[in-house]
Chain A
Amino acid sequence: MPKIIIDDIEYDVPDGITLIQACELAGVEIPRFCFHERLSIAGNCRMCLVEVVGMPKPVASCAMSVNDLRPGRDGTLPTINTKSETTRRAQEGTLEFLLVNHPLDCPICDQGGECDLQDQAMAYGFDEGRFKDNKRAVEDKYLGPLIKTSMTRCIHCTRCVRFMTEVAGVQELGAIGRGEDMEITTYLERGLHSNLSANVVDLCPVGALTSKPYAFQARPWELTKTQSIDVMDAVGSSIRVDSRGKEVMRILPRINDAVNEEWLSDKARYIWDGLRTQRLDRPYVRKDGKLTPCGWDDAFAAIADRMKTSAGAKFGAIAGDLAAAEEMFALKELAERLGSPNIDCRQAGAKFNPALGRATYVFNTSIAGIEDADALLLVGCDPQIEAPVLNARIRKRWKQLEGHFPVGVIGADVDLTYPYVKLGAGPETLAEVASGKNDFAKILKDAKKPMVVLGQAAFARPDGYEILAVGARIVTERGAIDEGWNGFNVLHTAAARVAGLDLGFVPGEKGFDTGRMIKAAGTGELDVLYLLGADEIDIPELGDAFVIYQGSHGDKGAHRADVILPGAAYTEKDGTYVNTEGRAQMTARAIFPPGEAREDWTILRDLAKALGKPLGFETLRELRAKMYAAAPQLARLDTLEPADAGPIVELARHTIAPGDSPFGLSIADYYLSNPIARASAIMASLSAMHADEEKATGTDG
């Protein structure tokens, strides 16, 4: 623990940190542009210069370690002055040089109001410019549909280049030329190909890289900021929803070291335009084959009418990928009161069974736990698509171990941004690893903290349960379950799934699962099918069943529905979601649902009343009290409790061999995988961009 003096006060600081971090610990702010804690040190902006007593020149505090300081000749501790004349003049000089070529276009710059350069020029800059010559101008670059460039504003901090190379793992951005003519660009201006690319917009300290869809939409001070949770994938990234009036203007990541650090996938960030279009803003009832707008009472009456002539057991309910725990709980209660065992939250048909125990369907290692792992087996998943932020965490671990992080893949060919060994394509390879025949089995066995991640492509198939068991066998036999370590992981793709399983939103005794329900609806075995935001099912197979669709967007499900009950999207309600790790988190209402749409749980509450089967709660608080009693883990928000590993050992004893068809990919089109995304023009343009390139190059992504 080196001792240093910062501005006349002595501090003990941790080994190995840099001066800028030491100053931060001491509560002293050092201005910076290029330094970023999660990126490598570049030391090229020179904004963080400080005076170190004894040094001939000010030093860049981001690039010097506290261990490299030497005491004074008289034995005084190393001394840093951050407020001295030398430091101040260095800061002023640096800013003056940076502003030499920076345009004075703040009034028309989207970064205005949240610009590091603007703020720091105010705080540390010289009060007037002395530069009288021409300013440099730089051609703007094309970086894809998400990132708008104004490269004249670039101050060459290279944060974007370092992010893309180190974190996103895509070597596409670079700095060409040198000196004054240095320019940030991609090779021949192809768009960026990463699901994390738009994080460079947040990283850019000036207005050189801004958000293209958000261009000239709002100023930061006009926006209402709501802290919430993303539901585009099962990672549950922490987000901040910026809204103005009744519109979500943009979505930004929040720092959450346990989940998303400070990154956010492009899909989660740019989904907001989908929240405005294709919205269901009033109830509809199908009359003479045509959906006609109506009032809530009419809609409920139509449902009550139909239910009167139907037995309770002929009712089925499917919960979609974006449903919050509250409405799933309410729907489950309703189905129970109707006497129907036919409920399922596993829309894609994955074979999870909550009765086995929580450890069999969550990401037990936890996302932060990836940073302790020393071997990884990915089965039937593509984290780069299914959970880009989680993939960045795996890549981070691979970098930490300087490449000595064995990764094996069983499944389709994927581009993970780090090297891996393809072991095979299907369950037989998985069985080989389980029985120790495969070379990778030894790697797992030798590893101290091995991880096995099983994806949806491995479960959403008839032999999914058997595959789950083989996975459990690998984990137990290769020593991946130990005290304080559980290497059995399930990577979900839907934000609603774990909460649904926690609530037991699966078929009861003799109940139908999703696939059976769809078939039964087709054959008339089921009279009424309740789709809670479930669109990714085989809609045409539903036959003549009476379909109630509750959801936020007019998508496939709503087109088929006989009654549409307009609900709220995740930015419009306080909903509990459980991420793939089993971490319960809550979204917050940023705006109100459009038109007559309502928060989903109230719809179910009132529908139950209309059916004469009240659910026994009136307020959200009462609902939650009941829900927490049923699934206490949902009450422990933002915390993660290790699940009991016993069920995994139990599961491993199940020895029926799975089939032999290879694993596919669970997401056909990443950008169009849910109703909000399908309503988004930005997602459509991204999807088209990737489809075009696949056609042009014949390669995947």
Chain B
Amino acid sequence: MSVRRLAAEQPEGFAFTPENLDWAQAVIKKYPEGRQASAVISLLWRAQEQNGGWVSEPALRYVADMLDMAYIRVYEIVTFYTMFNLQPVGRYYVQVCGTTPCMLNGAEDIKDACRKHIGPKDTVSEDGLFSWTEVECLGACVNAPMVQINKYYYEDLTPESLGSIVERLRKGEDVPPGPQDGRQGCAPKSGPNTLTDPAIYGSDDSGPEPGYAGTSDPKSKMPGPY
């Protein structure tokens, strides 16, 4: 982590969309009278999402005014939490995990691949589509190395598979999240070795099979824009 400052170039203003405003007011109501400031992180996060992945200075003031907080107090919060980006990010914001398990499994190579396919760290690519940064452990060590692109995890990466993800996203294709080497969730790489008896699943034949875990519609997990 390094010294964090607000971006040099800032947009004119910021205001929540009507939907977000309704949502924000509902969040604020969760807290007792006089404790609206408790909603600051939720609101900043929503502002960041609306603003394309970063918190601008007008957005900061907007949230502060909404919660009746001093600007310096909100400024303290956005600089404290690294999940708030103070500089603009790409439409696809790649967060590369660089903590020990990922590092031992080739996170350095993943970073090199990012440099190759996206550009230098913390800079938005020329087409405005990508930027990448290194983050601390994202808690998916069993699928190391991994990255988070916008809201979704892409796991079991190699420099090649990451390059392919980036290029496919650049072309506007859908890239399903999850392990990229055909592994099922965080099951062993060689395939499931327990609960493999189909009999235990009864008449339901939806037993374990390779592929992505979770929802049946992979498109629903596409990394959409912020």
Give residues in A with beta carbon < 8 Å to B.
Answer: 171-179, 181, 183, 185-188
Q: Which residues of B contact A178 (CB under 8 A)?
A: 1, 79-80
CB-based contact A174/B4 at 8 Å: no
Task: Decide: A186 and B3 in contact? CB cutoff 8 A.
Answer: no
Chain B residues numbered 1-15 whose CB sits less than 8 Å from any CB in chain A: 1-4, 6
Q: Is B71 an interface residue (CB 8 A)?
A: yes
Question: Which of A171, A172, A173, A177 is within 8 Å of B79, CB to CB?
Answer: A177
In the complex, what residue of chain B is closest to A171 when comparing beta carbons?
B70
Contact call A181/B2, Cβ cutoff below 8 A: yes
- Contacting A at CB under 8 A, from B46-80, are 57, 70-73, 75-76, 79-80
Task: Give the CA-CA distance A176 to B74 in the complex, in Å.
Answer: 10
| Option from A174, A177, A181 in Cβ contact (under 8 Å) with B73 | A174
B76 to A171, Cβ gap below 8 A? no
Chain A residues with Cβ below 8 Å from B71 are: 187-188
**A181 in contact with B4 (CB, 8 Å):** yes
Q: How many interface residues does chain B have, given as a range?
A: 10 to 19
Closest to A186 in B: B72
- Which of B1, B2, B4, B72 has a CB less than 8 Å from the CB of A171? B72
9 shortest interchain CB distances as A-B pairs: A171-B70, A174-B72, A176-B79, A187-B71, A187-B72, A174-B76, A177-B79, A181-B3, A178-B80
**15 A-B residue contacts at CB 8 Å?**
A172-B72, A173-B72, A174-B70, A175-B76, A177-B3, A177-B79, A178-B1, A178-B80, A179-B1, A181-B1, A181-B2, A187-B70, A187-B71, A187-B72, A188-B57
Query: A179 vs B1: C-alpha distance in the bound complex, in angstroms?
Result: 9
B169 → chain A, closest Cβ, in Å?
A: 32
Given known contacts A187-B71, A188-B57, what 9 new A-B pairs fall within 8 Å (CB)?
A: A171-B72, A171-B73, A174-B70, A174-B73, A176-B76, A178-B1, A178-B80, A181-B1, A188-B6
Once bound together, how far apart are the Cα atoms of A179 and B80, in whole Å? 9
Q: How far is the CA of A32 from the CA of B70 in the complex (A)?
A: 29
- Centre residue among B6, B57, B76 by max chain A CB count within 10 A: B76
In the docked arrangement, what's the CA distance between A178 and B6, Å?
15
Residues of B within 8 A of A179 (CB): 1
Q: Which residues of A contact B6 (CB under 8 A)?
A: 188
Give chain A residues whose Cβ lies under 8 Å from the Cβ of B57.
188
Known: A181-B3, A181-B4. A176 touches B73 (CB 8 A): no
Q: Please give, as numbers and ranges, the residues of chain A lying within 8 Å of B3 by CB-CB distance.
A: 177, 181, 183
State A188–B57 Cα separation when bound (angstroms): 10
Complex contact A177–B4 (CB within 8 A): yes
Residues of A contacting B1 with CB < 8 Å? 178-179, 181
Cβ A174 vs Cβ B80 within 8 A = no
Assembly CA distance A693 to B71 (angstroms): 17
Residue of A nearest to B4 (CB): A177
Nearest neighbor of B78 in chain A, beta-carbon distance: A176
CA distance in complex: A185, B71 (Å)? 12
Measured CA separation A187–B71 after assembly (Å): 6
How close is B84's CB to chain A, nearest CB, in angstroms?
12
Q: Give min CB distance, A40 to chain B, whole Å.
A: 15
What distance in Å separates the Cβ of A327 from its nearest Cβ neighbour in chain B? 46
Q: How far is the CB of A191 from chain B (nearest CB, A)?
A: 13
In contact, A176 and B2 (Cβ under 8 angstroms): no
For A181, list chain B residues within 8 Å (CB).
1-4
Which residues of the partner chain A approach B2 to less than 8 Å between Cβ atoms?
A: 181
* Nearest-CB residue, chain A, relative to B64: A187
- With A181-B2, A181-B3, A183-B3 known as contacts, the answer to whether A176 contacts B70 (CB < 8 A) is no
Contacts of A175 in B (CB 8 A): 76
Q: Tell me the bound Cα distance from A174 to B75 in angstroms.
A: 8
Complex Cα distance, B75 from A686, in Å, reads 26
Q: Which residues of B contact A186 (CB under 8 A)?
A: 72
Contact A187 B75 (CB under 8 A): yes
Closest to B74 in A: A187
Task: Report B-chain residues with C-beta under 8 Å of the C-beta of A171.
Answer: 70, 72-73
Q: Which residues of B contact A188 (CB under 8 A)?
A: 6, 57, 71
For residue B71, which residue of chain A has the nearest CB?
A187
- Give B204 Cβ to nearest chain A Cβ, in Å: 50
A177 touches B72 (CB 8 A): no
Residue in B closest to A177 when the chains form the complex, CB atoms: B79
Residues on A with beta carbons closer than 8 Å to the beta carbon of B79: 176-178
Residues of A within 8 A of B73 (CB): 171, 174
The distance in angstroms between the C-alpha atoms of A183 and B57, with both chains bound, is 18
Which of chain A's residues have a CB closer than 8 A to the CB of B72?
171-174, 185-187
Minimum distance in angstroms from A694 CB to a CB of chain B: 19
A271 to B76, CA, bound (A): 34
Distance from B71 Cβ to chain A, minimum over Cβ atoms (Å):
4
Cα A496 to Cα B51 in complex, Å, equals: 59
Report B-chain residues with C-beta under 8 Å of the C-beta of A176: 4, 75-76, 79-80
A178 to B75, CA, bound (A): 12
Instruction: List, in ascending order, chain A residues with CB within 8 A of B75's CB.
Output: 174, 176, 187
A187 proximity list for chain B (CB < 8 A): 70-72, 75
B-chain residues with CB within 8 Å of residue A174 when the two chains form the complex:
70, 72-73, 75-76
Q: CA A179 – CA B73 in complex, angstroms?
A: 17
A179 to B3 Cα, complex, angstroms: 10
A177, chain B: closest CB distance, angstroms = 5
State the CA gap A172–B72 with chains docked (Å): 6
Q: How far is the CA of A175 from the CA of B76 in the complex (A)?
A: 6
Complex alpha-carbon distance, A178 and B72, angstroms: 14
Alpha-carbon distance A194/B53, docked complex (angstroms): 36
A176 to B76, CA, bound (A): 4
Binary contact readout B1-44 vs A (1 if CB under 8 angstroms, 0 otherwise)? 11110100000000000000000000000000000000000000
A187 to B70, CA, bound (A): 9
Which residue among B6, B72, B73 has the maximum number of chain A CB atoms within 10 Å of its CB?
Answer: B72
Contact with A along B98-109 (1 / 0, CB 8 A): 000000000000
Query: Smallest distance from the beta carbon of A20 to chain B beta carbons, Å?
Result: 27
Give the docked Cα–Cα distance between A183 and B71 (Å): 16
User: Closest CB-CB distance, A572 to chain B, in whole Å?
Assistant: 41
Measured CA separation A485–B29 after assembly (Å): 43
The CA of A436 and the CA of B64, in the complex, are separated in Å by: 40
Closest B residue to A403 using CB positions: B34
Chain B neighbourhood of A172, CB < 8 A: 70, 72
In the bound complex, residues from chain B placing their C-beta under 8 Å from that of A177 are 3-4, 79-80
| CB neighbours of A173 from chain B (8 A) | 72
